[in-house]
Chain A
Amino acid sequence: MRRALVRVERFVWFALLLGLCASPAWADRASGTTTGLLELRGDYYWETSTRVLAPSARLRLDLPDGLSLDGEYLLDSVTSASVAAGALTDSGFTERRNDASLGAAYEFDLGQAALAFSLHGTFSKEPDYRSLSGSFGAALSLNDRASVLRFSLGYLHDDVGQVFRTGTGARPDPMGGVAGSFSENLEAFTSSAGLDQVLTPTLTASVSYDFGRVSGFLASPYRRLLLADGTRRAENHPDLRLRHTVSGRLAWYVRATHSAIHVAYRAYVDSWRIAAITPEVRLYQELGGHRTLRLRYRYYAQNRASFYKPADQYTADDTLISVDPKMSAFHSHLLGLKMMLDLSFLEHSVLESFAAATVDMNFEYIWNTNRYGDGVIASVGLRLPF
């Protein structure tokens, strides 16, 4: 039975490959026009002890021979008074993270099918952290792109350091040491597979599965716990984490009201015994006059990691210690409002080159039950196809 199953499987794989190869000739790409997209964004995040300002610019070029190139630069400017971020006193500090990425993709046009490959690399640097990552992706489009199968593999290597801020240069605790003496690594392997499917003329569905293996130093180099006996302990998390995520999305266009409804759901579980759910609804309403309004609601809930306890319950016998609010059981609600305006009304004006652009403004509020407290996300963006 098993052997027969294997034979059937091999035959179907062979037939599929043959079908792809026998598809009609490659599409004509002789128009010779290079198109692309320029995106400029300003994102902002606020919570009680942290503010993040993140301007970014992204450029994508689609060349006539099927090659796409893209590059992105992002500056994270973080102002924080959080001990977890390295502050030694109550006064805040600001640090900057520079993040640059480059990517290339090529699509083989196979008639009713298409096969695309992509490579992507990212480098990120901040005073106490350096990250280098790369990924490879493949996407197989079938049935005139009604079905798209996606696969990706990624690798990440981080160097974790420690910088003393707004203080004397030495941590005021027995774990402290001196600046520059802390050096750890973090590695991650990621893989994902997904399917995007057109179901009806107004309904699409997407499903995906992500797996991540993260190892190395997975705690914060700054967080400390004060035990009941007065001793201080550094945060210590397990050095391996296996993460599984299944997510899905349905998008439905309602012709009668010119609305689009997106319903998404994500289920997550990892080897630290954290399980989480994330349902989300987005409603896009076309308002006429080039405007679209988006309402968004997102709920998030998780249980605690197996080694997480309230701070006053840790004892000197505990080897795994966490002071990370992300490891606790909590939930959050996010409510957001976004307005998008397409600038097609600029046609036949002196600003005609911006007529294909859209601008958006977004505001979201997060009610969070853990120690981070409530948060705000706000952003403005310009999207200019050319």
Chain B
Amino acid sequence: MTRLRLALLALLLATGCVHVAPYEREDLSRSSMDASREASEVGFESHVHDAREGATGGHGSTGGGCGCN
């Protein structure tokens, strides 16, 4: 648990090492850079992969949820 807390803390502190001002992020606001725009599509594809592969995760799912096992 201590290791987890320290890792979390290190991660938090690391976020302060880089600063890109909002006005510098024009390219990052393009639709092709925004993975969240494809969330619905990813939801279905993840469902297919979960039903056909032994691994899961990386998108909030860890198994169960339907009888497509």
Contact = CB atoms under 8 A, between A and B. Distances in A.
Interface in B26-53: 26-28, 30-33, 35, 37, 40-41, 44-45, 48-49, 52-53
A179 interface: no
Nearest to A143: B19
A65 interface: no
Given A97-B66, A260-B30, A381-B40, A12 B13 contact: yes
Interface of B: 5-6, 8-9, 11-13, 15-16, 18-22, 24-28, 30-33, 35, 37, 40-41, 44-45, 48-49, 52-58, 60-69
23 contacts: A9-B9, A12-B9, A43-B44, A56-B40, A124-B66, A133-B64, A146-B18, A156-B64, A156-B65, A158-B65, A195-B11, A200-B18, A202-B28, A210-B60, A214-B64, A219-B69, A251-B33, A253-B27, A253-B30, A286-B32, A340-B31, A372-B52, A377-B44
Nearest to B6: A9
B67 A126 contact: yes
Contact of A276 (B8, B37, B53): B53
Contacts of A145: 22
- Which has the most chain A C-beta neighbours within 10 Å: B6, B48, B64, B67? B67
Interface string A349-384: 000000000101010000010001001010101010
A131 B62 contact: no
Interface string A40-80: 01010100000010101010000000000000000010100
Nearest to A296: B45
B15 to A, nearest CB: 3
A195 B55 contact: no
Given A12-B9, A188-B64, A340-B31, 20 more contacts: A78-B68, A97-B66, A122-B65, A197-B18, A198-B18, A200-B20, A201-B25, A204-B28, A210-B62, A220-B69, A245-B62, A249-B35, A253-B28, A253-B33, A260-B33, A262-B35, A270-B55, A326-B54, A372-B52, A377-B48
Which 6 A-B pairs have CB atoms at the shortest separation, nearest pair first?
Answer: A212-B62, A245-B57, A129-B67, A147-B15, A284-B32, A247-B58
Nearest to A266: B58
A244 B62 CA distance: 9
Interface in A248-307: 249, 251, 253, 255, 259-260, 262, 266, 268, 270, 272, 274, 276, 278, 284, 286, 292, 294, 300, 302, 305
A208 B58 contact: yes
A234 interface: no
Contact of B60 (A9, A76, A135): A135
Contacts of A156: 64-65
A126 B64 CA distance: 13
B16 A143 contact: yes
A212 B56 CA distance: 10
A339 interface: no
Contacts of A284: 32
Contacts of B60: 135, 152, 154, 190, 192, 210
A135 B62 CA distance: 12
A149 interface: yes
A360 B25 CA distance: 25
A241 interface: yes
Nearest to A52: B48
Contacts of B32: 253, 259-260, 284, 286, 292, 294
Contact of A214 (B9, B44, B58, B63): B63
Given A16-B12, A143-B16, A253-B32, A201 B58 contact: no
A383 B36 CA distance: 12
Contacts of A124: 65-66
Contacts of A147: 15-16, 18
